[in-house]
Amino acid sequence: MMNTSVPTPAFIFRQGRTPLLVSMPHVGTHIPEQISRGMTPAAHRLADTDWHLDQLYDFLDELGASVLVATHSRYVIDLNRPPDNANLYPGQDTTGLCPVDTFDRQPLYQAGKQPSEAEIAERRTRYWQPYHTKLSEQLQRLRTQHGVALLWDAHSIASEVPRFFEGRLPDFNIGTASGSSCAADLSNKLGAIAETAAGYSMALNGRFKGGHITRHYGNPAGNTHAVQLELSQITYMEESHPYRFDERKAQAVRPTLRQFLETMLAEAEK
């Protein structure tokens, strides 16, 4: 019998009315069957997903933001890594373009089932490139339409991941590629918002300075301002399986998230 199933698209996009584009490259949970068959139970738990960000950022339509959301798991391919798999943090432990283990070093693939170079290239074409093509096209559209493009790359991570950092991660981890991906004044304003958010901790260009998306697309001299927020998951969800959303916590942190993005939009009015 012919297989008539329709492949899952690489992303979901909705267009807004303002210069703001919000990218969510790690919220996807879909793993195609032909990949899933060679994976381990640890892979199927999807522990390293940026869980529930679309639910947390439920105010984006009110702000008129365009939103680009990945559908496939980062275990298939990591959209926030460069296509050549270069290490974004030289000398530090990181996961790659097509990860082979989880953040706590559990193998993602059964013995002998890790992707070959040819399969990685195929995944790059099928999943990585469409997301980045759309991202690039939309930033160009925003610059043409508004004279400026504002990119917010939304991420989250467990508050404690010993593989990558000691102790507990700050709640708000703002990355501007060490100040090169957005205007200094904007970076300072975002940092000030995080510093004054009661009950939360913050870091600006600390352990997380921004991944490939922030570094590649941020170009303040070319009127594109890109910022990554790595949000500690303890601020809005249960960090252990089954990773439930916590609306009470979310209601507390949303006003600060919204203030970040309203500050981004104010940059376009200068």
Q: What is the pLDDT of residues 209-222, one digit of tens each?
A: 999 999 999 999 99
State mean pLDDT over 17-34: 98
- % of the chain at pLDDT higher than 90: 91
User: What is the per-residue pLDDT for 89?
Assistant: 85
At 2, is the pLDDT very low, low, confident or very high (cuts 50, 70, 90)?
A: very low
Is pLDDT above 90 for 135?
A: yes
pLDDT at 267: 82
Angle, vertex CA 200, rays to CA 254 and CA 94, nearest 5 = 90
How far apart, in whole angstroms, are the C-alpha atoms of residue 173 and residue 182? 15
Per-residue model confidence (pLDDT) at position 115: 97
- Domain positions in the chain: 11-268
Distance CA 35, CA 108 (A): 11
**pTM, 2 dp:** 0.95
**pLDDT confidence band for 5 (50 / 70 / 90):** low
Pick the CATH number of 11-268 from 3.30.43.10, 3.40.50.920, 3.40.630.40, 3.30.70.100: 3.40.630.40
223-240: average pLDDT? 98
Cβ partners under 8 Å of residue 257, min gap 6: 56, 57, 229, 231
For the sheet with 11-14, list strands across it. Answer: 11-14, 66-70, 20-24, 149-157, 224-232, 172-175, 202-204
Task: Please tell me the least confidently modeled range out of 40-44, 154-158, 265-269.
Answer: 265-269
Give me the phi and psi of 144, to 5 degrees please. Answer: -65, -45
Structure confidence at residue 118 (pLDDT): 98
Tell me: pLDDT of 1 over 50.
no
Of 162, 235, 232, the C-alpha closest to 203 is: 232
Q: What is the pLDDT of residues 153-200, one digit of tens each?
A: 999 999 999 999 999 999 999 999 999 999 999 999 999 999 999 999
Local confidence band at 265 (pLDDT 50, 70, 90 cut-offs): very high
Are 263 and 186 in contact by the 8 Å Cβ rule? The answer is yes
pLDDT tier for residue 6 given thresholds of 50, 70 and 90: confident
Q: Which pLDDT does position 11 carry in this prediction?
A: 98
Question: Tokens at residue 3, please?
Answer: 């297989």
The pLDDT assigned to 94 comes to 86
202 pLDDT band (50/70/90 cuts)?
A: very high
| Average confidence (pLDDT) over 145-149 | 97
Average pLDDT of the chain? 95
pLDDT at residue 4 greater than cutoff 50: no
